[in-house]
Structure 1
């Protein structure tokens, strides 16, 4: 009997040691990392936002929460059509003509970045909101008419001429975190930089939170979150397929501006959403311009700017910078083509690695 009790006691001790070892092992097991992806459709900027990275389920969920909160906030901050609980672009366009309006320092920061790009070349001008508003109205009307098989209409030329009188950073007075419009008809439109600025901030927040792989695709604004051998598809302007394969091993940002996303037609001619502030009319030099650099806000602004410049002027503008660009165009240029097919001439900055896709 005594021998049985001793055996049972030893067995119990061994069993407890086994259980403790298993629990210790499990508690020290590193959570499994997998590649996960999600597409968010409710965070603003009138686009779907896809996020993908390789991490644990817990970390992935925390990153998604961060992305949702950040994009929702920046969408409210840069919204020019609706009022919110914070002073945003809509607030400025409604009230800054009468008084100095205090705004979030990130709105000031974005405006100052836009101003620096404007000072390099005035083809990118966020103060041209009054002009862009005219085209926005005509574009919405035109899209509706096109869907009915009818042509849209151009804005009145006198209306365009009048709107151009109320454009310029000299009409914008920034004092600290406050803004005042010196012209009551001045209107800001940050559509050419806002999504890029927001995406850059989200990238920085994710990196700070420990996310150093994967990517964000915010409706064509692609942000790479870590360094690896990347292959990024550049869209064919006449289809949903990739035309070009861009290769890099850096955590860069890639933004494309094109005539194939938001446009309406008159007599089979496209009128896109990218307006040249000098002519007052949609730019039509290229089918698309893709810009690659380290900062998404800069990439966003420059893709709009370069869409309004010739390839030759664009190449010259980017000399002595770390900004790369790819032009897809139907036009002939004085410089040598990088690639060509039956539909397009393709040009790019030196050392930009591209090839045709096989899709």
Structure 2
């Protein structure tokens, strides 16, 4: 009752501050989701995350040190010394970041650091009203200023500039009150506590961001997208632990009783967990239909609000007791549990397993904070030892989880799944001798990896990389690379240049530069890149096994044909191994071998769970090119990776093109060729070659070539 009577408005003001910050922050990111495309959105989030991590390093744990000790000692010199140290560190780190990464990220690092130390100073003085208005002010300005600058500049960098200005405004305003009474000695007296607090802060940042890094690497961006959506909803409802921590830390440090608020907080966490579950069921389907797969994940993460609330209460209590080392050990322990959970539960249960890893991490954190202090005789050492064991175990498990392939055997069916050529690979063999089949699928997968190593434009050891960085000099190439390049030029010739392996400068501009800048390229930039595109300027000397460009700055990409070649090579390896029946699938491009008929579904380009039709393949290959595999939205415009080399813009006459041929290199190249040519010219080419093809036009109509003999849904 004492805490309420002495500062009856303090808790309400912290609640208002944190809830407002959470709501305005969510609105900010939702607005950005409408204004900029997902990749620019992700890149911006990455840059802001870097600034937040760096600001955590710069604050050096001094914020919690101020709150913990100032309320006990009433020493303003501690506040001033802490502020000066953070100012110096942020200027040094910010300057380095500006030089190495991005000037606006450097400036944002300074702004976040100063704002953080200033808000902690307000908590240390129990000036909850000032604390509240600082949060409301900075989030309000940072909601409008960055978007206004973005619209004025037309660059994503404007968002960073607006955020930096917002946080600097409030950080510098509060800092001027702290720098008049300075004593670095007061800070030095608390260095042990400060370093432990700093370690805990860094561990907490790792907990908040490492999961995204791991999931992106281990499970791919599609799963990460749904996970991130669910996690953002979790954060919206998980504002309670933040509220309790920021209010309880100064109150407990001042010796106030807070048991009633703690009890109410835990009860409120139960309500919020239920609210998150209802939100997932009632709000997500109508408003976010693309994320309905994340409904159960939101419900699981919602349960994590309860242990997160307990963790927030215990963290405030331990800091007030000057036991920062226990907080550090608990966070390291939870981090280890989180890594283990992601690699093990994610592998076993997919998205639901990843959501469960959030719950496991929060339970581990709460458990560590509760039980580590109960160990006598050096709780910090015990906590650190347990944390070390957890982290070592996590690293071991994660290292075994990052495998290039996995093999399953079910009767006479042996299946390898893996990742290569930036997509998923599946090789299925039907063979009574499963040991022979296992060896065969491994060899076939390794062959795909080998082809990727030859023809990847990104790997510095590849032949295509060497060609792309040769200027106009001759480059010696293997017969295989020469073969694929010649095949590419063949399709360039019969399509009038619609298939062009030298289109890489345009692909990079749209899929890299446009993503980071967040706007359609200027006509001048587009014209400059178009000058570097032209298949006639790629010269191949087959007799001497070499090739070169006639123009400086040209580059090739075999993205529209190399995958098909790799599939053909994998099939050859399987046949040489004695395999009679098999299917090789690399990112949806498929080839079958043997007398067995394999059933393959053709995906609808707009409805992920629907099929255009079912086809039967027997010793045949099928490849599909579409605008729905690698794409992003710029406003309402769909931007994808299949670029028309004549216009410089993404081809827009088709949604998808499916081609069936005897081998996959031709199916792969033709599906891309027809997609760029458009429905009329594309169908004419397919009929001329006598090839089976299915075209879905930009308005959703289906057109088939004269040779097409498969049924379609609705026909």
TM-score, length-normalised on structure 1?
A: 0.79
CA-atom RMSD in angstroms:
2.0
State the 1:192 CA deviation. 0.9
Seen in structure 2, the aligned counterparts of structure 1 residues 139 and 204 have a Cα distance that, compared at 3 Å, is farther
Within 5 A, what are the aligned runs for 1:85-124? 87-95=462-470, 97-121=471-495, 122-124=497-499
State the 1:52 CA deviation. 0.9
State the 1:219 CA deviation. 0.5
Partner of 2:519: 153
Question: Which structure: greater helix fraction?
Answer: 2
Within 5 A, what are the aligned runs for 1:1-359? 34-41=412-419, 44-55=420-431, 56-84=433-461, 87-95=462-470, 97-121=471-495, 122-138=497-513, 140-141=515-516, 152-175=518-541, 176-331=544-699, 344-356=700-712
> What CA distance in whole angstroms lies between the structure 1 residues aligned with 2:673 and 2:554?
20
Unpaired segments ≥5 residues, structure 1: 1-31, 143-151, 332-343
State the 1:54 CA deviation. 0.9
Q: 1:264-296: CA deviations, max 9, x gaps?
A: 112222011100011110011121110110121
TM-score, length-normalised on structure 2?
A: 0.40
Q: 1:150-182: CA deviations, max 9, x gaps?
A: xx3112221111111222233222222112222
2:415–2:441 CA contact under 8 A, matched in 1: no
> What CA distance in whole angstroms lies between the structure 1 residues aligned with 2:689 and 2:658?
16
State the 1:357 CA deviation. 5.3
Q: How many residues align?
A: 301
Moved more, 111-120 or 172-181: 172-181
Partner-residue secondary structure (3-state), 1:281: coil
State the 1:104 CA deviation. 1.2
- RCO (CA 8 Å, sep 6+): is it higher in 1 or 2? 1
Q: 1:286-333: CA deviations, max 9, x gaps?
A: 2111011012111111111111123221121122423211112343xx
> What CA distance in whole angstroms lies between the structure 2 residues aligned with 1:129 and 1:351?
32
Seen in structure 2, the aligned counterparts of structure 1 residues 72 and 123 have a Cα distance that, compared at 3 Å, is same
Q: 1:184-225: CA deviations, max 9, x gaps?
A: 111111111111111111112212222221201101111112
Moved more, 228-237 or 285-294: 228-237
1:242–1:357 CA contact under 8 A, matched in 2: no
Q: 1:240-263: CA deviations, max 9, x gaps?
A: 324123433531111011111111
2:652–2:698 CA contact under 8 A, matched in 1: no
1:139–1:263 CA contact under 8 A, matched in 2: no
Seen in structure 2, the aligned counterparts of structure 1 residues 251 and 139 have a Cα distance that, compared at 3 Å, is farther
Seen in structure 2, the aligned counterparts of structure 1 residues 140 and 203 have a Cα distance that, compared at 3 Å, is farther
> What CA distance in whole angstroms lies between the structure 1 residues aligned with 2:486 and 2:508?
22
> What CA distance in whole angstroms lies between the structure 1 residues aligned with 2:646 and 2:692?
25
Moved more, 213-222 or 234-243: 234-243
Partner of 2:300: none
Seen in structure 2, the aligned counterparts of structure 1 residues 222 and 45 have a Cα distance that, compared at 3 Å, is same
Decide which structure has the larger Cα Rg and report it. 2
> What CA distance in whole angstroms lies between the structure 2 residues aligned with 1:242 and 1:350?
25
> What CA distance in whole angstroms lies between the structure 1 residues aligned with 2:610 and 2:660?
17
> What CA distance in whole angstroms lies between the structure 2 residues aligned with 1:113 and 1:127?
13
State the 1:346 CA deviation. 1.4
State the 1:76 CA deviation. 0.9
2:561–2:669 CA contact under 8 A, matched in 1: yes
Partner-residue secondary structure (3-state), 2:654: coil
Partner-residue secondary structure (3-state), 2:427: strand
> What CA distance in whole angstroms lies between the structure 2 residues aligned with 1:127 and 1:51?
31
Q: 1:132-167: CA deviations, max 9, x gaps?
A: 22112135437xxxxxxxxx3112221111111222
1:246–1:353 CA contact under 8 A, matched in 2: no
> What CA distance in whole angstroms lies between the structure 2 residues aligned with 1:179 and 1:249?
37
2:687–2:707 CA contact under 8 A, matched in 1: no
> What CA distance in whole angstroms lies between the structure 2 residues aligned with 1:141 and 1:228?
47
